[in-house]
């Protein structure tokens, strides 16, 4: 057993970096002023927010006036989608998204369907990519919004965002992208990507939980989600989470300065993991696009076993990862993403997502592969499905 935790779930959340925490610290007990207050203590807080806004803008190649802080990535997604839908409903009621969006997008779209909007859920291919031709065809005269995620949180597949943005721009449709998983991992440029709105969440790139941001391109017509005080240029009411916003700013700054190196590091670890797992463990399938993929995310289906059991056994060895099994998704079905790329239920249940980060090492990969092969073997030994498979060897049970 390892003497430390091997955290391989960076796509779920990340630890706040010490430098980020240091930057946040003064804003809890000392520089605690309300940014709306006109006295010194308030102005200090306001200035801290402005600086964080500049940092986010720099990371996205946006203008600071186009950045609005929110209470989470989910809030940014809800705001973007509902805000554009309600502001533009006189123009049309049609929204286009994909089948593999995060629930923050999917459930928001489903809610809007109940409110009278129509939503097209684009399918994806076995690698998780949408077809841009299909997107073009799906656009109707009454289409008011296209919302397609930049990188998928389960399988890591990266969509052709620039092309999508180009299509949207040509057709005069507003384009939102959920970049919650992408920020910090891949370079973002809202201008070259033709993006109108973009969501992000600090806790995915070593910032704190409970703070996100929405980029809203100047001129985009969007109603408010949060009504109240005049904060965020009257676009998002609530006394600002100053410490959180400062943390977000610091975290995105560090991430941007370091992104190429970080990307390379993660890719090397993923490659090593993929190679060694392929070598050691039979009856598996790697999910997600081979190349157009987040560098640190590896999603694997292990036939004959169930994901939660796998996670628990890894946890007992100090390895923390995540799964698309129903048991861990808080829903009845296994991951909608894995189903959307065409996996049968029973295979989707046996999926594992490992996502590398900052402190991951090659040793971690070796230890993971070693433990994983033992655990998979053990669970298969207990599996009635594996028993059947061995008895009927050669017959594929799942097709």
Partner 1 sequence: MYSDKVMDHFANPRNVGEIEGADGVGQVGNAKCGDIMKMYLKIEDGKITDAKFKTFGCGAAVATSSMATELIIGKTVDEAYKITNAAVAEALDGLPPAKMHCSNLAEEAIQAALEDYKLKNGLTDEADVCKKCCKRCEDVHDLIDEDM
Ligand X SMILES: Cc1ncc(COP(=O)(O)O)c(C=O)c1O
Q: Which is nearer to ligand X, 102 or 353 (CB)?
A: 102
Among 239, 271, 331, 363, binds ligand X (CB under 6 A): 239
Per the residue annotation, which of 327, 333, 367, 378 is the catalytic one?
327
Cα distance between residue 372 and residue 367, in whole Å: 8
Return all residues near 246 (Cβ < 8 A) that are at least 6 apart: 23, 24, 27, 48, 49, 51, 52
The bridge status of strand 319-320 relative to strand 297-302 is unpaired
Question: What residues from 105 to 144 belong to the interface with ligand X (CB under 6 A)?
Answer: none
Cα distance between residue 190 and residue 217, in whole Å: 9
Q: Which is nearer to a copy of itself, 20 or 298 (CB)?
A: 20
Tokens 């239920």 sit at which residue?
Answer: 345
Q: Which is nearer to ligand X, 277 or 296 (CB)?
A: 296
Q: Does 183 bind ligand X (CB under 6 A)?
A: no
Cα distance between residue 143 and residue 108, in whole Å: 17
Which tokens is 278 given?
Answer: 């392929």
Q: Does 236 bind ligand X (CB under 6 A)?
A: no
Cα distance between residue 283 and residue 61, in whole Å: 44
Residues facing residue 201 across a β-bridge: 212
* Total residues in contact with ligand X, by rule CB under 6 A: 16
Which tokens is 291 given?
Answer: 């190349």
Question: What residues from 16 to 45 belong to the interface with partner 1 (CB under 8 A)?
Answer: 38, 43
Among 18, 114, 291, 332, binds partner 1 (CB under 8 A): 332
Among 50, 61, 127, 238, binds a copy of itself (CB under 8 A): 238
Taking alpha carbons only, the member of 375, 365, 367 closest to residue 307 is 375
Give the x-and-dash track for 279-318 against partner 1 (CB under 8 A). -------------------------xxx-xx--xx--x--
Among 35, 73, 156, 357, binds ligand X (CB under 6 A): 73
Give the x-and-dash track for 135-164 against a copy of itself (CB under 8 A). ------------------------------
Cα distance between residue 185 and residue 260, in whole Å: 8
CA-CA-CA-CA torsion sign (130, 199, 25, 55): positive
Q: Which is nearer to a copy of itself, 119 or 139 (CB)?
A: 119
Question: What residues from 224 to 243 belong to the interface with partner 1 (CB under 8 A)?
Answer: 230, 232-234
CA atoms within 13 A on the CB side of 203: 12
CA atoms within 13 A on the CB side of 149: 34
Q: Does 326 bind partner 1 (CB under 8 A)?
A: yes
Q: Does 2 bind a copy of itself (CB under 8 A)?
A: no
For residues 197 and 177, the answer to whether their CB atoms sit within 8 Å is yes
Other CB atoms within a 10 A radius of the CB of residue 12 amount to: 15
Residues facing residue 97 across a β-bridge: 121
Q: Does 208 bind partner 1 (CB under 8 A)?
A: no
SS3 content of the chain, % helix, strand, coil (to 5): 45, 15, 40
Among 51, 54, 308, 377, binds a copy of itself (CB under 8 A): 308
Among 14, 44, 74, 309, binds ligand X (CB under 6 A): 74
CA-CA-CA-CA torsion sign (99, 102, 104, 105): negative
Q: Which is nearer to a copy of itself, 204 or 289 (CB)?
A: 204
Q: Does 32 bind a copy of itself (CB under 8 A)?
A: yes
Q: Does 26 bind a copy of itself (CB under 8 A)?
A: no
Q: Does 131 participate in catalysis according to the annotation?
A: no
Q: Does 322 bind a copy of itself (CB under 8 A)?
A: yes
Residues marked active site are found at 327
Which residues contact ligand X (rule: CB under 6 A)? 72-74, 77, 102, 104, 149, 153, 178, 180-181, 201, 203, 212, 238-239
Which residues contact partner 1 (rule: CB under 8 A)? 38, 43, 46, 49-50, 53, 65, 230, 232-234, 304-306, 308-309, 312-313, 316, 325-327, 330-332, 334, 344-346, 349, 381-387
């Amino acid at each position: 057993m390892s003497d430390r935790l091997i955290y391989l779930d960076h796509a779920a959340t990340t630890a706040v970096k010490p430098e980020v925490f240091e930057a946040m610290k003064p804003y809890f007990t000392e520089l605690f002023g309300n940014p709306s207050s006109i006295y010194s203590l308030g102005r200090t807080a306001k200035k801290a927010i402005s600086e964080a806004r500049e940092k986010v803008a720099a990371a996205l190649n946006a203008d600071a006036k186009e950045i609005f802080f929110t209470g989470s990535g989910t809030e940014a997604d809800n705001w973007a989608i509902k805000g554009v839908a309600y502001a533009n409903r006189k123009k049309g009621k049609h929204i286009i998204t994909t089948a593999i969006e995060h629930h923050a997008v999917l459930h928001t779209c489903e809610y809007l369907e109940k409110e009278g909007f129509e939503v097209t859920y684009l399918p994806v291919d076995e690698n998780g990519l949408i077809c841009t031709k299909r997107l073009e065809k799906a656009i109707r005269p009454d289409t008011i919004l296209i919302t397609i995620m930049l990188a998928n949180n389960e399988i890591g597949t990266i969509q052709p965002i620039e092309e999508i943005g180009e299509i949207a721009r040509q057709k005069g449709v507003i384009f939102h992208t959920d970049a919650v998983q992408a920020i910090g991992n891949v370079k973002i440029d809202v201008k070259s990507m033709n993006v109108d709105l973009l969501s992000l969440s600090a806790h995915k790139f070593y910032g704190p939980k409970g703070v996100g941001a929405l980029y809203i391109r100047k001129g985009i017509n969007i109603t408010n989600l949060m009504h109240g005080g005049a904060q965020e240029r009257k676009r998002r009411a609530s006394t600002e989470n100053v410490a959180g916003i400062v943390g977000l700013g610091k975290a995105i700054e560090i991430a941007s300065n370091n992104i190429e190196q970080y990307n390379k590091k993660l890719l090397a670890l993923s490659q090593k993991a993929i190679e060694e797992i392929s070598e050691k463990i039979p009856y598996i399938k790697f999910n997600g696009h081979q190349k157009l993929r987040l560098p640190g995310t590896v999603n694997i289906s292990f036939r004959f076993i169930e994901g939660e059991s796998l996670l628990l056994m890894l946890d007992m060895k100090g390895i923390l990862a995540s799964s698309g099994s129903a048991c861990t998704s808080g829903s009845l079905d296994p991951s909608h993403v894995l189903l959307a790329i065409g996996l049968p239920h029973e295979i989707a249940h046996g999926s594992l997502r490992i996502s590398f980060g900052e402190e991951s090492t090659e040793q971690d990969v070796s230890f993971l592969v070693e433990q994983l092969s033992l655990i998979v073997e053990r669970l298969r030994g207990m599996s009635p499905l594996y028993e059947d498979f061995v008895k009927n060897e050669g017959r594929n049970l799942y097709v």
